Amino acid sequence: MSSPSKRRDMDVMKLMMSDFAVETINDGINEFNVELHGPKESLYEGGIWKVRVELPDAYPYKSPSIGFLNKIFHPNVDELSGSVCLDVINQSWSPMFDLLNVFEVFLPQLLLYPNPSDPLNGDAASLMIKDKNQYEQKSTVNVMQRENITNTISEESDEEVSDEDISDGHSVTTDEEVAGHVEP
């Protein structure tokens, strides 16, 4: 590849042609949302998350900015901002990696193998260390609630989802933040 912009274009096109649903923002390729399904045999199986990607001008030499738009209970994801604590993205990024690596390998691995010793969500990390069964139950219940919300929204697409529709204690301020719901 002769320039970062050509590489960026190629990586975004590869992602768009993959099995991931990609929604561009402002008709550009520097910002977009990707639909991420929880990996099989993980606590997050069955969940669907919208992940925001922002590509810096120096991509692929500088890592993309990655964040969950809807809530996820995970030690390495900040519950409020959706920021991800993942060394391969934040510290050891290499131009060898591309966007498909992020969504096919890095994020699924993060969901499969949380690291409570380097948390962004202290409550999730503490619960995982002190009471793994309760942590697993809370994560699983969280995913099941998201599935129910998604099914309800799909069946009754004209109705608004209120805070009462979500019983995990998180307030919802926009449709994008409705846990587990990704616009088609």
141 residue type, one letter: V
Which H or E run includes 124? Answer: helix 122-130
Q: Please give the Cα distance from 142 to 150 (Å, whole number).
A: 12
Q: Could you say which of 85, 110, 125, 172 is catalytic?
A: 85
DSSP 182: -
26 residue type, one letter: N
Known catalytic residue at 85: yes
Q: At what angle do helices 122-130 and 132-155 cross, to 10 degrees?
A: 130
Q: Active-site residue numbers?
A: 85
